[in-house]
A and B are shown apart, each in its own frame.
Chain A
Amino acid sequence: MSTTVEPISEERKDAAGWLKLAFVRLGVLPFLLIIAIVAFTLLSGNFLTVNNLLNVARQSTYLTMVTMGQMLALLTGGFDLSVGTILAVTSVVGALAMSSVFAASPDLVWLAVLAGVLAGFGAGLAIGIVNGTGVALFNVSPFMMTLGMASVGFGIALYLTGGVPVYGIPDIFGAVFGFGRLFGIPAPIYATAIFVAIMYVVLNWTRFGRYLYAVGGNIKASRLSGINTRKTLFLAYVLCAALTSIAGLMLTARLETGEANIGSSMPLESIAACVIGGVSLRGGVGRLSSVVLGAIFIGLVQNGMNLARIDSYLQTVVIGILLILAVVADQFRLKLIAELRD
């Protein structure tokens, strides 16, 4: 008897050890992804189809862009709670500019699109510049600064629109940037892929990228190493706003209207995606690939829950729980790392 029992328990121990090691190496995200894919495949026959997965990828692009911006702020040890209003302000200002130019000169469609894009992007960037100035120059805590700007931006967006969606955008804008396809792949995916590539190079292969990690890891040490920490912090918030603002334009193209309410869930979802992807809330730690995967994971869960007909209010509950679970898992992982080192 005993001879047959032993090898099995041995094998089990091996499997458990391997799982533990994988968890320590990769974090919680791969496990969550596998669980989600298996669960949703069982719940709905439509989940694991090329068409649906392409849909997930397209739906996730907006969050992916915002999450990459959020990652910049998190890496420096701060965060940006105003990403939602940056999205809203971009959308509203962009749509207003676009529709009014279009109304004034209906023949110059591309001029209207260009004017709208520049106005929207400029408005979003302006919020980032204010955030960066407050955090980097006046040492306002990122929490207060971006929370304050979230209120300012949301107020402006509502004031400009009176709470009503902005219509009158030229159709071509939505047709190209929202619904356009090339070789069967939606346009937003191309745009996001390009920005992911740029972000990868910036974070891993440039001085500025190195400084982001250094400033978040130890700001005093960075200053003593001759790094311009104020500039680094400032740029982090400005670039965060830039990425978010581009997401805002893409979303406006998809919705074909400018809306003040589109970004309200973004601060939570983008921070959740980063944390699930292993970004430390204390700064200095985080990999782009995991962060992108984190954003896609959240898109996947939302899509799966939609297919499984889970109530949209309950979906919010699930996202919140996932965020907390990720943080708990991360603490547990740190403990395991400490044990493995001994």
Chain B
Amino acid sequence: MTSMAERIPAAPEASASGAQEILVLKNISKRFPGVDALIDVDFDLRRGEVHVLFGENGAGKSTLISLVSGAETLSSGTMSLNDKVVSFRSVHEARQHGISAVFQEFSLVPQLTVEENLFLGEEVTQGLFLDKPEIHRRAVSILKRLNFPLEPHRRVAYLSRAEQQMVEIAKAFRSQPAILIFDEPTASLTERETERLFALIEQAKKQGIGIIYITHRMGEVRRIGDRITVLRDGRRIATLDAKTSNDDQLIELMTGRRITQVFPKIDFRPGQSLLKVERLTLVSRSVRDISIEVKAGEIVGIAGLVGSGKSDLARACYGLEKIASGRITLGDEDITGKSVREIMQRGLFYLPADRRAEGLVLMRGARENIALPSIRAGAFSNGPFLKRRDERLKTHGLAQKVDLKPFDLERDLEHFSGGNQQKVMIAKALSREVRIFIFDEPTVGVDVGTRVAIYGFIRDLCQAGAGILLVSSDLPEILHLTNRTYVMYRGEMRAELKGQAITQDQVLRHFFERAAA
């Protein structure tokens, strides 16, 4: 490991004076009960640079930024800000030192309005009382400066995820920060919003603000990064120059092994038609007059921007959305308007995008989660009684199959990384006889190593004759995994692309064509 780090061309050393370093972490460690989240990590941040933190889930990136932002305290080591040793006991204290963070799990209160959230914890007051007109004025000016189309009086609960992300970003820009921290800020933004964020980051750099940036996207690393620090298993593996690094090198450093190919070669053998959607319109109007078909032995993609209705279409197939008109058939059986349970019994399984909210019972272990969909099917129960031995054996086998790490089926799922939670979701689907799998954003918040494993599963399922519907905002995923792809735009079908025709240009053109006009 160390020899590999030495082979990497080191990033240019900071000047001897050290004046350009705004933040220096020396030998910092963070221990949680039972876990060493960070071990002896060195890290420094200079004025006007974007320092990317790169690593798999559970490598310690989030822990590092929660230490810097004051959400957690150091177990050992020192942190100095402008050559002065500091230790923050709260987010509030860190913010007073000019450190603002955009958290991945939003620090927004849904019941409050945009402007109330923007100034939460730092309300403008006159004596004892809130100065509401001044708060409104400042909120308007911040949103205008950032060019975010948000209404200050709207409640955050009614905003889309992308809009909430904008509020979160605006919150960080509300005062003049010295250090800005971003934790996967583009995960739910559209291309255009992403561009706007990058422009803001460029602007902040020019003002001498130091930026710590976490991302899983290779493209972003070189697009805005100056230096990259790679973490693995809580240790710093290397710090390198963003411009001279390449993808293979980064993946190797991150995973500790060489991954030559992220996407597998898939042998498509489209057979009989399994799932047919005919002229479907939902009550919510988020899907209008859409027809698709999925055959056995193929992977069909649904691409589109946030809000294109692609996820609603998938959910409708699983009985989760109210249908206004149209027909959905599975095999030769009409399943329009059937309940989730009935559809599941007929061999269709949907893996939701939001693992935490919809996919898993996080405060229970893998065994119970994996068995959940099939308890009624008879495999794990006998009348009202559980067959706990069968359950243990079968879930054990499934967890092995998906390579759960750490291999502990009783540990609460909330203590697993995002990638391993996703593996449990797949194991859940495998516990039943399933002919059609619907994957909704299967690799959101999942590191490259697990991503490769998940793609492998999808390939195996497809080659074993299952039909697969892949809903994804991740373009490379659509390009490399599917043999047919539908492109949706604002609830309407824009195109069906087949085989060689599925190219980045083609898909993107249908994303934006009408929006630009």
A residues sitting closer than 8 Å to B (CB atoms) are 201, 204-207, 209-210, 213-214, 216-218, 220-228, 284-285, 341-342
Contact = CB atoms under 8 A, between A and B. Distances in A.
Nearest to A282: B111
Given A224-B91, A226-B92, A284 B111 contact: yes
A285 B121 CA distance: 18
A216 B110 CA distance: 10
Given A214-B109, A223-B91, 11 more contacts: A204-B130, A214-B120, A217-B110, A221-B107, A221-B120, A222-B120, A224-B101, A226-B95, A228-B92, A284-B109, A341-B158
Given A224-B71, A225-B120, A226-B122, A213 B92 contact: no
Interface in B112-126: 112, 116, 120-123, 125
Given A226-B92, A227-B121, A221 B158 contact: no
Interface string B80-104: 0000000000111001000001010
Contacts of A216: 111
A133 B119 CA distance: 28
B109 A342 contact: no
B108 A221 contact: yes
Contacts of B128: 206
B111 A227 contact: no
Nearest to B103: A224
B130 A210 contact: yes
Nearest to B157: A217
Given A217-B109, A217-B110, A218-B110, A225 B158 contact: no
Contacts of A220: 105, 107
A341 B101 CA distance: 32
B111 A225 contact: no
A285 B71 CA distance: 26
B122 A217 contact: no
B91 A226 contact: yes
6 shortest A-B CB distances, which residue pairs? A226-B92, A224-B107, A225-B121, A217-B109, A226-B121, A284-B111
A207 B125 contact: yes
A207 B107 contact: no
B105 to A, nearest CB: 7
Interface string B420-440: 000000000000000000000
Nearest to A218: B109
A206 B129 contact: yes
Contacts of A218: 107-110
B376 interface: no
Contact of B91 (A213, A225, A284): A225
A214 B91 CA distance: 16
27 contacts: A201-B129, A206-B129, A207-B125, A210-B116, A210-B120, A210-B123, A210-B130, A213-B109, A213-B111, A213-B112, A214-B112, A217-B111, A220-B107, A221-B107, A222-B109, A222-B120, A223-B71, A224-B71, A224-B103, A224-B107, A225-B121, A225-B171, A226-B92, A226-B121, A284-B110, A284-B111, A284-B112
Interface string B128-142: 111010000000000
A56 to B, nearest CB: 32
B480 interface: no
B47 to A, nearest CB: 24
B411 interface: no
A225 B129 CA distance: 19
Given A221-B106, A226-B121, A206 B111 contact: no
Given A210-B130, A221-B106, A341-B158, A285 B111 contact: yes
Contacts of A204: 130
A79 B33 CA distance: 31
B284 interface: yes
A319 to B, nearest CB: 28
Contacts of B510: none
Where chain A touches its partner, the secondary structure class is: helix
Nearest to B120: A225
A329 B125 CA distance: 38
Nearest to B116: A210
B401 to A, nearest CB: 35
Nearest to A207: B123
Nearest to B96: A226
Nearest to A214: B109
A201 B123 CA distance: 15
B111 A342 contact: no
Contacts of A209: 130
Interface in B5-27: none
Nearest to A221: B107
Contacts of A207: 123, 125, 130
A227 B101 CA distance: 15
Contacts of B105: 220
B285 interface: yes
Contacts of A213: 109, 111-112
A209 B125 CA distance: 13
Contacts of B123: 207, 210
Contacts of B120: 210, 214, 221-222, 225, 227
Contacts of B91: 223-226
A218 B111 CA distance: 9
A222 B91 CA distance: 10
A284 to B, nearest CB: 4
A75 to B, nearest CB: 10
Nearest to A210: B123
B283 to A, nearest CB: 8
Interface string B46-81: 000000000000000000000000010000000000
Contacts of A210: 112, 116, 120, 123, 130
A277 B285 CA distance: 34
A217 B129 contact: no
Nearest to B66: A224
A204 B103 CA distance: 28
Contacts of B90: 226, 228
A274 B120 CA distance: 25
A342 B284 contact: yes
Contacts of B285: 342
Nearest to B92: A226
Nearest to B90: A226
B9 to A, nearest CB: 37
Nearest to B131: A205
B130 A206 contact: yes
Contacts of A217: 109-112
A217 B284 CA distance: 27
Contacts of B112: 210, 213-214, 217, 284
Interface in B337-358: none
B438 to A, nearest CB: 23
Nearest to A222: B109
